[in-house]
Amino acid sequence: MIQTYISLGSNQGDTLYNLDWAKSRVLEMEGVHPGKSSVVYFTEPQGVKEQSWFANQVISVFVDAEPNPGELLKELLRIEDSMGRVRTERFGPRIMDLDLLLFGNMEIETRDLVLPHPRMHQRAFILVPLMDIDPVLSLPSGQRLEDFLARLDYSVSGNKIWQD
């Protein structure tokens, strides 16, 4: 089984319900088994600032040899679509955003998929909950997540994350 990490984010509708619903759909997928889940953090939007804060969470799952990362990504996109995700504005509001962060130690770069996720090392809203699950986690290259987090200008208070 391959340990895989997925981030979930929502800033439209009932964000906590959206996270729970998406997480349950992920765990219903064939060949996907539950791992740990971070707490939910509320984070200010990155990029487009004039929108509601996000509810963010990271989950780990264990994946059988099938599905492969590309198939898993397609299933995550189907979940987003089934929840009404509309892709009109990059970094804009969304009912659900599911990002495949890590798929074991795989390093992949295709037109549709880059692993590890290409911007995760720049985002406290991913790194903080990811380190809740696995505080000593490193990228396949050996780079430690805590080192990336140390370079970011961010703060955490309770379950809220701010990042400049």
What span, in angstroms and rounded, lies between the C-alpha atoms of 127 and 76? 20
Residue 99: active-site member: yes
Residue 97: active-site member: yes
Residue 147: active-site member: no
Task: Tell me the two tokens of residue 42.
Answer: 């509320």
Catalytic residue among 25, 64, 78, 85: 85
Residue 144: active-site member: no
Catalytic residue among 25, 78, 99, 147: 99
Catalytic residue among 20, 64, 90, 97: 97
Catalytic residue among 20, 25, 87, 94: 94
Catalytic positions, written as ranges: 85, 94, 97, 99
